[in-house]
């Protein structure tokens, strides 16, 4: 007779001594507990609330200093409980968004959600991105908003393709590039919703599947422009092409640039096109709406282009930009994602360099004659510099970085230091806001202590 708990192939799970952690995974945000903890009544809302708090902490990383985030934080517990209750009871309604126009690097409409709605978006994206990676939904050559990928990885992948196809720069190959016209405004939300629901219903195994499906419907089909507050004057929209605004498309078209879910949804929407191009022998590098190819046979690629164009139009409802197609020998170079990839080297493109020097010139002129302004803006300038230097350090840009350091040094030499390779800008310690705050706190404490001593001395004198 077999003992209880003894293992063999027929009764491997007769006895389970696990603590519950064995069932934790990325779909349930480590909210699983062992059965032994649930001997009494269980509140299913508790596990859901923990997942919402995880999304809240993630949302705070980049938005902690915004006005809406601070208002939410002031009454954090009650606000988060109320939001979780709304979602849990399927009563969630997105709040008013803001809409504004940005001019750099190009003219663009941004519609951004309220902070509490961004928490919900993080909740959705945490699960969908894990599902996409688990199921292999996204092609390996899709680099936008994915862990371990990104802008730099896309540039390096294209450079490696050129090296491989040219057999170490010894044979001919060609580089091509195109992008999709008004990409975010052309995405069909009905098609996107149907495809997302089909994937989640079939492959998602999390305990909150019904909640996730509910949120996908609410967020994906929501039209934030209907009640958005415009933060820039209405006349700013006059220069924006009609096809690049949510206010000028049908209700079922367009994703809001500025929402977190729009980025992951864009990847998912492009995934079928990437799979189709793989099936016909192409392996493009994709970053949102930009596609770059490396091919050996120029004529064959030109023959394939009408089929690619027709696929995007018929199957995805997207249009290739008629004026943004590029095809050249690899030795001529290709501009891609802010870089210029040439034979055996990579540069930063002129527009990126010009924007960097434009920022430096702006802060130089604004703060040249005021030490107080310098102290107020030095950390902001250092952040901007590190953003550009962080990209340039990976390319052949040492002379450009030297020019940046020299230009900054004309005004900020006592405030900012560069390392030897000019890849990092550091604020001198006693000009950092954190150090200034610490100094002021210590100064105030010394004043308070001095005042207290005087009061005690006066009291002792009076007593005597």
Whether residue 289 sits in one domain with residue 228:
yes
Residues 163-201 pLDDT 10s: 999 999 999 999 999 999 999 999 999 999 999 999 999
Whether residue 301 sits in one domain with residue 369:
no
CA dist 329 and 175 (Å) reads 6
Give domain status of residue 259, yes or no. yes
Whether residue 178 sits in one domain with residue 115:
yes
Residue by residue, what is the 3-state secondary structure of 113-139? CCHHHHHHHHHHHHHHHHHHHHHCCCC
Whether residue 401 sits in one domain with residue 333:
no
Give domain status of residue 445, yes or no. no
Computed from CA positions of residues 293, 299, 302, 306, in that sequence, does the dihedral angle turn out positive or negative? Answer: negative
Look at residue 154 in the predicted model and tell me its pLDDT. Answer: 94
Give domain status of residue 452, yes or no. no
Give domain status of residue 387, yes or no. yes
Look at residue 11 in the predicted model and tell me its pLDDT. Answer: 42
Supply the DSSP symbol for 234. Answer: G
Give domain status of residue 447, yes or no. no
Number of domains in the chain: 3
Whether residue 291 sits in one domain with residue 375:
no
Whether residue 225 sits in one domain with residue 331:
yes
Look at residue 14 in the predicted model and tell me its pLDDT. Answer: 37
- Domain span at 17: 1-35
Whether residue 387 sits in one domain with residue 329:
no
If 0-12 CB within 10 Å is exposed, 13-18 middle and 19+ buried, where does residue 161 land?
Answer: buried
Residues 263-309 pLDDT 10s: 999 999 999 999 999 999 999 999 999 999 999 999 999 999 999 99
Give domain status of residue 230, yes or no. yes
Look at residue 192 in the predicted model and tell me its pLDDT. Answer: 96
Whether residue 159 sits in one domain with residue 125:
yes
All residue ranges of the chain with pLDDT < 70 are: 1-42, 433-441, 443, 448, 450, 452-456, 458-464
Chosen domain end from 308, 329, 346: 346
Q: Where does 264-325 show beta strands of DSSP type E?
A: 285-287, 290-295
β pairing state of 98-102 and 229-230: parallel
CA dist 259 and 271 (Å) reads 20
Whether residue 379 sits in one domain with residue 318:
no
Whether residue 115 sits in one domain with residue 232:
yes
**Stated pTM of the model:** 0.79
Cα distances (Å, whole numbers) of residue 53 to 29, 48, 85, 108: 10, 9, 12, 33
Picking from 225, 233, 230, 231, the residue whose alpha carbon sits closest to that of residue 257 is 225
Greatest Cα-to-Cα distance within the chain, rounded to the nearest angstrom? 105
Per DSSP, what are the bridge partners of residue 418?
425
Whether residue 299 sits in one domain with residue 160:
yes
Give domain status of residue 355, yes or no. yes
Residues 408-449 pLDDT 10s: 988 888 888 899 889 998 888 777 766 666 666 676 777 767
CA dist 446 and 176 (Å) reads 67
Q: Which helix (H) or strand (E) holds 157?
A: helix 151-165
For residues 159 and 276, the answer to whether their CB atoms sit within 8 Å is no
Whether residue 394 sits in one domain with residue 332:
no
């Amino acid at each position: 007779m077999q003992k209880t708990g003894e293992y063999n192939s027929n009764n491997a799970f007769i006895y389970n001594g696990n603590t519950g952690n064995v069932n934790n995974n990325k779909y349930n945000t480590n909210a699983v507990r062992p059965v032994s903890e649930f001997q009494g009544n269980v509140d299913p809302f508790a596990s859901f609330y923990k997942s919402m708090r995880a999304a809240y902490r993630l949302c705070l990383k980049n938005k902690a200093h915004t006005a809406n985030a601070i208002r939410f934080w002031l009454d954090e517990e009650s606000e988060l409980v109320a939001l979780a209750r709304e979602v849990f009871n399927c009563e969630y309604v997105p709040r008013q968004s803001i809409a504004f126009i940005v001019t750099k690097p190009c003219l663009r409409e941004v519609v951004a959600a309220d902070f509490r709605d961004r928490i919900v978006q993080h909740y959705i994206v945490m699960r969908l991105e894990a599902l996409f990676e688990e199921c292999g939904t996204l092609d390996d050559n899709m680099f936008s908003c994915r862990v371990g990928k990104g802008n730099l990885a896309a540039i390096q992948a294209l450079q490696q393709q050129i090296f491989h196809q040219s057999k170490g720069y010894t044979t001919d190959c060609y580089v091509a590039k195109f992008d999709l016209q008004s990409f975010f405004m052309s995405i069909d939300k009905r098609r996107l919703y149907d495809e997302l629901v089909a994937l989640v219903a079939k492959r998602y195994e999390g305990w909150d599947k019904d909640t996730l499906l509910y949120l996908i419907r609410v967020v994906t089909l929501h039209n934030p422009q209907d009640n958005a507050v415009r933060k820039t004057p209405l006349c700013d929209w006059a220069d924006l092409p009609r096809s690049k605004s949510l206010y000028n498309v049908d209700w079922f078209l367009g994703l809001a640039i500025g929402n977190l879910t729009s980025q992951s949804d864009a990847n998912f929407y492009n995934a079928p096109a990437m799979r189709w191009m793989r099936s016909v022998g192409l392996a493009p590098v994709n970053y949102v709406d930009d596609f770059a190819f490396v091919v050996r046979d120029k004529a064959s690629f030109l023959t394939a282009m009408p089929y690619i164009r027709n696929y995007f139009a018929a199957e995805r409802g997207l249009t290739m930009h008629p004026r943004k197609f590029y095809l050249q020998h690899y030795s001529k170079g290709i501009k891609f994602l802010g870089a210029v990839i040439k034979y055996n080297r990579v540069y930063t493109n002129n527009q990126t360099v010009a924007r960097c020097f434009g920022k430096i010139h702006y802060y130089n002129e604004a703060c040249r004659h005021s030490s107080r302004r310098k102290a107020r803006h030095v950390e902001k300038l250092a952040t901007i510099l590190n953003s550009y230097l962080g990209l340039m350090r990976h390319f052949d840009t040492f002379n450009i970085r030297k020019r940046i350091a020299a230009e900054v040094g004309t005004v900020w030499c006592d405030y900012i230091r560069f390392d030897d390779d000019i890849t990092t800008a550091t604020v001198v310690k006693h000009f950092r806001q954190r150090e200034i705050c610490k100094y002021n706190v210590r100064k105030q404490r010394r004043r308070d202590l001095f005042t207290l001593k005087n009061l005690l001395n006066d009291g002792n004198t009076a007593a005597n």
